[in-house]
């Protein structure tokens, strides 16, 4: 049986004409040496295909050089885009990434906590898709944790989120300013549809809740009321849910000229359903999503959306986590990304 000899640190040292200690210093970004020597070692590592033995490193240092990402499954395009961004940022900082997913209909984040101890990452980025059932006890682990998502942590945990309300409010306002009269919202949380203003203004958590609040504020700030007949609830936020919500909207028999969707997945599903019923986008109805996932750029028509700067989101989460791994014990930090409105063919926002 043919086997390929594993390249060792000794082989790299011999090829580069340096000591094993020098190669180790280059790998661990430690020690002092001439830049030309460091580059010669890096060239040898690349040429020979040397890969760090993570098991050996773990035994020696107590660390693995791995970060964990616990996130909902990839039926949502946002999940894969965020995972790609986390991997990219972590790789730039010398870390690999382990990903563990949980299903939408199960117990959520808490269902994979036990897995994290078997997977051996030095710290974990958690993405929460629902409120914490035990007042944030899920965040109290023996390894460093950074929370992402739209549910505030109860405990002192670093937190990365996005401007959900502000972004949806801005996009809806643009539609209103552009002449749209009847704007629908697809994907609202069932429990609070139709709530009074005071109740909605008290909302502080939840993707759907915060985005619905932003939608309502766009009307309130113009002195207009929200027509709840055009606010269509949905439990899920994947393509089929967007299509189902659009079908329900159409079944009402009322005219509407724009649709704001909770995310791009729902917008893509809604676009399919609307076009299947003969509506032209954007001539008959404008469609706007949220997330700026890659599929939206190549849909027909290309999807207008809100870009919450996922790479910046990932950068903040990864950086905070590595700082915790490296020994930072300061107070919990909170980071909110910025956003921009990306106008494509499915709307005429400007």
Q: What is the pLDDT of residues 101-123, one digit of tens each?
A: 997 666 788 888 888 888 889 99
Rounded to the nearest 10 degrees, the angle between the axes of helix 20-27 and helix 9-16 is 110
| Confidence at residue 2, expressed as pLDDT on a 0 to 100 scale | 38
Cα three-residue angle 127-307-171, rounded to 5 degrees: 115
CB 260 within 8 A of CB 215: yes
Q: Which residues have CB under 8 Å from 116's CB, separation 6+?
A: 68, 70, 100, 124, 141, 143
Give the pLDDT confidence score for residue 101 in this predicted structure: 93
pLDDT at 59: 44
- Mean pLDDT over 279-284 rounds to 97
CA gap 109, 214 in Å, rounded: 26
pLDDT category, 1, cuts 50, 70, 90?
very low
Count of other CB atoms within 10 angstroms of residue 301: 15
**Given pLDDT bands bounded at 50, 70 and 90, which one contains residue 50?**
confident
Nearest to 165 by CA among 124, 209, 131, 123: 209
Q: What is the CB-side half-sphere exposure of residue 207 using CA atoms within 13 A?
A: 20
Q: What is the CA radius of gyration of the chain?
A: 24
Per-residue tokens: 275: 């076009």
271: tokens are: 């676009």
Please tell me whether the peptide bond between 301 and the residue prior to it is cis, using omega within 30 degrees of 0. yes
Q: How far is CA 286 from CA 165, 212, 224, 341, in A?
A: 20, 18, 20, 14
Query: What is the CA angle 263-265-270, rounded to 5?
Result: 95
Residue 309 tokens read as 């700067």
SS3 of 304, please?
strand
Residue 8: per-residue pLDDT: 80
- Other beta carbons within 10 Å of 56: 10
Give Cα 11 to chain centroid, integer Å: 41
Which tens digit of pLDDT belongs to each residue from 215-264? 999 999 999 999 999 999 999 999 999 999 999 999 999 999 999 999 99
Q: What's the pLDDT at 55?
A: 47
Q: Is 218 helix (H, G, I), strand (E, B) or coil?
A: helix
Q: Considering the chain, what percentage of its residues have pLDDT values greater than 70?
A: 93
The answer to whether residues 94 and 65 touch, using CB atoms and an 8 Å cutoff, is: yes
SS3 at position 282: coil
Residue 292 parent element (H or E):
none
Question: From CA 342, how far away is CA 303, in angstroms rounded?
Answer: 9
Do residues 167 and 214 lie in contact, with contact meaning Cβ atoms separated by under 8 Å? yes
Give Cα separations from 25 to 10, 18, 32, 55, 326 (angstroms).
13, 11, 8, 18, 18
Q: What is the mean pLDDT of residues 171-193?
A: 95
Q: How confident is the model at residue 48 (pLDDT cuts 50, 70, 90)?
A: confident
Closest-CA residue to 86 (of 125, 137, 48): 125
- Report all structural domains of the chain as residue ranges with CATH numbers, in order of start: 9-51 (1.10.260.40), 66-160+310-338 (3.40.50.2300), 164-307 (3.40.50.2300)
Per-residue pLDDT tens digits for 56-113? 555 455 578 999 999 998 888 999 999 999 999 999 999 999 999 997 666 788 888 8
pTM for this model (two decimals): 0.81
Pick the more confident residue, 147 or 134.
147
Whole-angstrom distance, CA of residue 301 vs CA of residue 326: 46
Alpha helix (H) ranges present in the chain? 9-16, 20-27, 35-48, 54-61, 77-92, 113-119, 164-177, 197-201, 207-220, 239-251, 264-276, 294-297, 310-325
Task: Report d(CA 176, CA 84) in Å as an integer.
Answer: 35
């Amino acid at each position: 049986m043919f086997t390929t000899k594993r390249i060792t640190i000794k082989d790299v040292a011999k090829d580069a004409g340096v000591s094993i200690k020098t190669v180790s210093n280059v790998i661990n970004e430690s020690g002092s040496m001439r830049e030309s020597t460091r580059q010669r070692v890096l060239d040898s590592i690349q040429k020979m295909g040397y890969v760090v033995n993570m098991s050996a490193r773990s035994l020696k240092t107590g660390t693995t050089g791995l970060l964990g990402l616990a996130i909902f499954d990839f039926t949502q395009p946002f999940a894969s885009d965020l995972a790609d961004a986390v991997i990219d940022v972590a790789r730039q900082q010398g870390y690999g990434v382990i990903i563990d997913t949980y299903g939408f209909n199960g117990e959520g984040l808490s269902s994979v906590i036990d897995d994290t101890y078997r997977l051996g990452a030095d710290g974990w980025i958690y993405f929460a898709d629902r409120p914490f059932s035990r007042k944030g006890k899920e965040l109290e682990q023996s390894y460093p944790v950074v929370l992402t998502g739209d549910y505030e942590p109860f405990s002192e945990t670093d937190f990365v989120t996005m401007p959900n309300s502000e972004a949806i409010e801005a996009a809806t306002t643009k539609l209103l300013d552009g002449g749209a009269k009847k704007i629908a919202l697809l994907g609202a949380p069932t429990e609070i549809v139709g709530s009074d203003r005071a109740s909605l203004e008290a909302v502080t958590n939840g993707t759907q809740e915060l985005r619905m609040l932003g939608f309502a504020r766009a009307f309130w700030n113009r002195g207009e009321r929200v027509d709840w007949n055009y606010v269509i609830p949905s439990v899920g936020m994947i393509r089929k849910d967007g299509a189902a919500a659009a079908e329900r909207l159409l079944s009402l028999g009322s005219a509407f000229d724009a649709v704001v969707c909770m995310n791009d997945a729902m917008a893509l599903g809604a676009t399919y359903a609307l076009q299947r019923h003969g509506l032209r986008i954007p001539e008959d109805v404008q469609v706007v999503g949220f997330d700026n996932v890659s599929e939206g750029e190549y849909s027909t028509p290309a999807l207008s959306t809100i870009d919450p700067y996922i790479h910046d989101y990932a950068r903040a989460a990864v950086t905070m986590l590595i700082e915790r791994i490296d020994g930072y014990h300061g107070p919990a930090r909170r980071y909110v990304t910025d956003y921009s409105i990306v106008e494509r063919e499915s709307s005429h926002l400007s």
